[in-house]
Structure 1
Amino acid sequence: MDGDDTSPTTNSRFSFSRTSSTGSIPAGCFSSASSAQGSDDEDSDSKPTMSYKDRRREAHTQAEQKRRDAIKKGYDELQYIVPTCQQTEQIGGAKLSKATVLQRSIDYIQFLITQKKKQEDELDSLRKEVMALKIMKANYEHIVKTHQNTPIHGQNLVSDEKKFQVFQTIMDNLFQSFNANISVSNFAELSGSVFNWLEEYCKPQTLRDVTLGILQQINNL
């Protein structure tokens, strides 16, 4: 009977302690596990956010550095291209400021524009000279062709005196128009009026009409 009185108490105590050690989890374990899980979640949430900011900051820094490198490269190329910048560096050895480089680049571009305008004017003048020479060439070719196509008969030979008279009359006629239309105020007006005179009075058709008129006059003498 004594064993029966003590056994329930012992069994109940044993079952309680056994259940407490194996069947249930202490509250401290829950709190520590939940806090550990919460800290892991916070770390997992904070790390990507900071990494994204770092990537943005790094990308911005790289873009800014590229922009500065491009500007520096542009100024270096201007200093290499513009002769006045090179001359200053060779003489003084001091580095030019960006404002000075830009101003000298502008001055050099304006100088190039002026030179280009002068070259275009010279080219236009040369074209006029070429055109005048072409007209003269065409006139001489026409005269030679006309002379070659003219039949020569022994009884109708023209003397050298007649040929010189024709030539002299043609030249006198041309000189009259030349003297009346040429301006000698300065070289520019002289050049321009000479080309205008060639285009107006030395056309093949004009010379042909003049020559025919002279030949008719001499033939009637």
Structure 2
Amino acid sequence: MSEDGESRYPISRCSSAGSLNNVTSSANNSDDEDSDLGAGPPPSAAGGAGNNLKDKRREAHTQAEQKRRDSIKKGYDALQELVPMMPSNSESLPPCKLSKATILQKSIDYMQFLQNCKKKQEEELNELQKKAMAMTILKLNYETIVAAHHSQRPGNALRQVSDDMKFQVFRAVMDSLYQTFEPSVITGNFTEISGSVIAWLEEHCKPQILREIMCAVLQQLQQHEAGVQQQEAMEQDGLDLQHQKLGVSKTERYY
């Protein structure tokens, strides 16, 4: 070619060594890329694994949130069952599902109601304790008066009523009451029994009637005891008379 042609179309030359180096480096780069692709998952597979992991995390989070909401709902339902409906609310509102705010407000109102009841009961308990203490003091005072009265009259203190005499008094009173109880009480059913017993109590167990029955029983037992003592005295007198006729002294009778 001419110089004009060479200058118009310049041709770059490279050495053989340089061209070999370029070919070798390109070949090495292609091998590295192939090795990298072979070592790790393909781009589409890696993206799918990441999406699966995110889906699993999202599902676990959704399940945990659902469990939390279910627990809260169960707690509100249990609280609604524990807290009773107030009379005013039950009359004005129709039976329907209450909101969480309403359940909480009802719970607060009920707790305040219980606190007021507790405070009132504590006040009543304190009053009863004071009354019990006053009654105990009165009882001790009366016991002191009775003890002083018996100490002034020692003869009456030594005289005690036997259990046999108490039983006789009780039996006589019950026998007297049963004479009016038996014809007055109807035993057909519970209604008749309760009604007839109440009527009998109101009619035949008044304080005045019971007092008259007790006085009559005591008088009868006193007469009976006096008769027994008189009979024993007469028998003793008869024995003494016989001993006197036989010439036996009182001291010789016991030997």
Tell me which protein shows more helix as a share of its residues. Answer: 1
Does TM, scored on the shorter chain, surpass 0.5?
no
The TM tier, using the shorter chain, reads 0.3 to 0.5
TM norm structure 2: 0.40
Rg larger in structure: 2
- Kindly indicate whether structure 1 or structure 2 has the higher relative contact order, using CA contacts under 8 Å at least 6 residues apart: 1
TM norm structure 1: 0.45
